Structures are given as structure tokens and as C-alpha cells.
């Protein structure tokens, strides 16, 4: 079908209207870790990666998925933070499998609110709290691991498999830096629950424990997410930081110490914030153009994008963006809302960066029989001369 191309460069709205200057992006810094990745949280653009798809042991980064599943159930209204959970022997802090690991220090037979257990998972990194959440949501930890893997599939995590809720070593328990970044991005979409990740301490049973993410104390832009460590996994850290409206997610796996994982994370974040910028180009549901509708009850239909459109580019390159709307030339009623009738394309220096469907923002029913007949005649003659 023929398409109508509309230039819409002037419609792009940016946070800054300063004159853009050509900027060079240097090579990424060397990172001392087994696998790592830096991603923009809004656009999903990956800025740096190394061994990002290698299957690695996640240690307590596992609890990101435990927390995500709980957040999902809370958002769906299936459970409440005020729910009381009776602690089983499996979830008891004195369970021998937890010896030497991080704990919330919950006691068998006691009742603990689900909200406190969530804090125990996120802030205290409690293996005991993770098992208690798993048993409450799924009946057993094995069943909960199955739910974790279902969510991993739905999120498109291609190199992830969970065998437990806490991250203690297991041969079939692994994930990748890319998958963890995708998971972190999904957690951030639950703002009420994500707020837990910025809390620096949690007191339970008269025991005060600090959040193990040391960057919360040293970098005010950091507000999450999670640390992890076992001898097998090394020192791991998934971090999110926001500066001047731009949010980045970094993943460092297999570092040699706590200090190194924090240092390497800061190198990733500094590089991303210094040399890149993210623009919110278009909002979901905003009319970008109108297109003529043939044989319809209305003369035209508004077209836009279904989801917010973000783009991450090198700093100083905003003025070099070129945007086009490619609209189907003949739109015939009935028009269904959310159906695709064209494409939005955004290019930088001649390279296509964004391609998303243009959708109808409203429905248009068929017009009267006289309208349909007349438009059919007009379209017939137009086809003869085109």
C-alpha cells in the first residue's frame, strides 16, 4: 500500500534547546568483573556490555526476582503488606542451610507481616525472609521457583533459571547481566515497592541492619537496587541511579570485593551520564497527525503512538535527529482504535534509531451508504490517475 511521508522534525520536543555541539564518545572504561552491562532505564538502550549473556551464579541478586514476584502480587491485589505470615521451620533463621548467610532473623512459629518480610528481603537480604515469602505466595519454595521462572519467561529473560528464592548455590540456578538489567527495569515500574531499595536500614527483632548497597551512602543519585555475594558468584551489584531526569541501570557480576563492585559500578554510571542523554520524544496517546478516512462517519482520524517513545543518544546530538511519520495513504472505515496505520521513524545521522507503529487513537465507524458510495467512486477515479 502506498504511504504518505510527513517530516516532523519540528515536532520533536527536547528538555534543552541549547545549540548542539558535535561530541565524541570515548571507548568505554575497562571494568574488572566477569560480566557487566549499562542500560538506560527508559529507552532500554544498552550503552556498555561485556559477557552480558553469559550464565552466571547470581547469589542474592536472586532476591530481585523474589521481590518482583511479591511486588507483582501486591499490585494485582492478590496479597497485602498487612498480611500475617506464620514462619515455618524451613524459613527459620536457625535453619542450618542459612549458616553464615544474610538473615532477617525471623523465628519459627512467629507471625510477621508481609510488608516486613519484603523489607527483610530487600534491605536485610534475608534468606529466611525470602523463603517465608516464597512459602506464603506459592505454598512451597519449589513451587515458588516455578513461578519465578514463569515470570522470567514473561519478561523475556533468556539466560535465567531459578532453583530457589534466595540465591544460595545450585547447579540449575543462574542468570545473566542483561537479564538482571531487564528485571531491574521491571521492578522500577512498581514505584511503591521500588522505594524499599533506597531505604538504608531496617530494624527487626531489635536487630538493626544496614542496606548492603554502599552506594546509597556515597552517591545521592543512587536509589537501588541489590547486592549479592557467594564464593561461587563473587561480588555482584545491580544499581540504578537518576541524574537530571535520566535513569541508568548498571549490572556488575563476579567482582573481586565489595569495594571493587562499587568502584566498577561508579565507572559505568559516570561514563553513561557524562557521554549520553535520553530524550522523551513522544507521549503515549498524544496526537501526532490526522489522516483522512474514506467511507467513514468522521472525515479523519488522529494517529499517535501506543507507548512513550524514548531515545538515548550521545550528548550534543539532539539537533541531528530526523523524524518522519509514514502514514498509509488510504485509510478506509471502519477504523479500529489501537490498530496500526503507519510508522514513526527517528534517525540520527542517517541511521534509523527508532521505528514504532502509528496507531489510531480513536475508532471511526462506517459512514452512511451515500458516503460509502461516493467515496468508492472517488477512490476509483483516483486509482485511474495515480
Point out the residues that are catalytic.
60, 63, 125
Query: 35-40 and 246-255: which strand pairing?
Result: antiparallel
Amino acid at each position: 500500500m502506498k504511504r504518505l511521508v510527513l517530516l516532523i522534525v519540528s515536532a520533536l520536543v527536547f528538555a534543552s534547546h541549547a545549540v548542539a555541539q558535535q561530541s565524541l564518545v570515548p571507548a568505554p572504561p575497562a571494568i574488572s568483573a566477569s560480566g557487566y552491562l549499562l542500560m538506560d532505564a527508559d529507552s532500554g538502550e544498552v550503552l556498555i556490555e561485556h559477557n552480558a549473556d553469559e550464565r552466571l551464579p547470581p547469589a542474592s541478586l536472586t532476591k530481585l526476582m523474589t521481590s518482583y514476584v511479591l511486588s507483582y502480587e501486591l499490585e494485582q491485589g492478590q496479597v497485602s503488606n498487612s498480611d500475617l505470615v506464620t514462619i515455618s521451620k524451613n524459613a527459620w533463621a536457625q535453619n542450618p542451610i542459612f549458616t553464615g548467610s544474610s538473615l532477617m532473623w525471623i523465628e519459627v512459629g512467629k507471625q510477621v507481616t508481609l510488608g516486613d518480610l519484603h523489607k527483610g528481603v530487600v534491605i536485610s537480604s534475608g534468606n529466611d525472609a525470602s523463603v517465608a515469602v516464597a512459602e506464603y505466595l506459592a505454598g512451597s519454595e519449589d513451587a515458588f521457583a516455578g513461578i519465578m521462572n514463569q515470570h522470567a519467561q514473561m519478561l523475556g529473560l533468556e539466560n535465567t533459571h531459578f532453583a530457589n528464592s534466595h540465591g544460595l548455590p545450585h547447579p540449575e540456578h543462574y542468570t545473566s547481566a542483561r537479564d538482571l538489567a531487564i528485571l531491574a527495569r521491571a521492578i522500577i515500574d512498581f514505584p511503591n515497592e521500588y522505594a524499599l531499595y533506597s531505604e538504608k536500614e531496617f530494624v527487626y527483632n531489635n536487630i538493626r541492619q544496614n542496606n548492603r548497597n554502599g552506594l546509597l551512602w556515597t552517591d545521592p543519585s543512587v536509589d537501588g537496587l541489590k547486592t549479592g555475594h557467594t564464593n561461587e558468584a563473587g561480588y555482584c551489584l545491580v544499581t540504578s541511579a537518576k541524574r537530571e531526569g535520566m535513569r541508568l541501570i548498571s549490572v556488575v557480576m563476579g567482582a573481586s570485593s565489595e569495594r571493587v563492585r562499587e568502584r566498577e559500578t561508579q565507572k559505568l554510571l559516570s561514563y553513561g551520564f557524562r557521554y549520553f542523554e535520553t530524550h522523551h520524544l513522544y507521549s503515549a496517546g498524544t496526537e501526532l497527525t490526522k489522516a483522512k478516512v474514506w467511507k467513514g462517519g468522521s472525515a479523519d482520524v488522529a494517529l499517535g503512538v501506543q507507548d512513550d517513545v524514548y531515545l538515548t543518544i550521545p550528548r550534543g546530538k539532539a539537533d541531528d535527529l530526523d523524524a518522519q511519520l509514514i502514514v498509509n495513504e488510504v485509510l478506509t472505515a471502519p477504523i479500529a482504535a489501537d490498530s496500526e496505520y503507519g510508522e514513526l521513524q527517528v534517525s540520527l545521522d542517517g541511521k534509523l534509531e527508532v521505528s514504532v507503529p502509528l496507531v489510531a487513537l480513536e475508532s471511526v465507524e462506517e459512514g452512511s451508504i451515500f458516503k460509502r458510495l461516493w467515496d468508492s467512486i472517488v477512490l476509483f477515479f483516483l486509482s485511474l490517475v495515480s
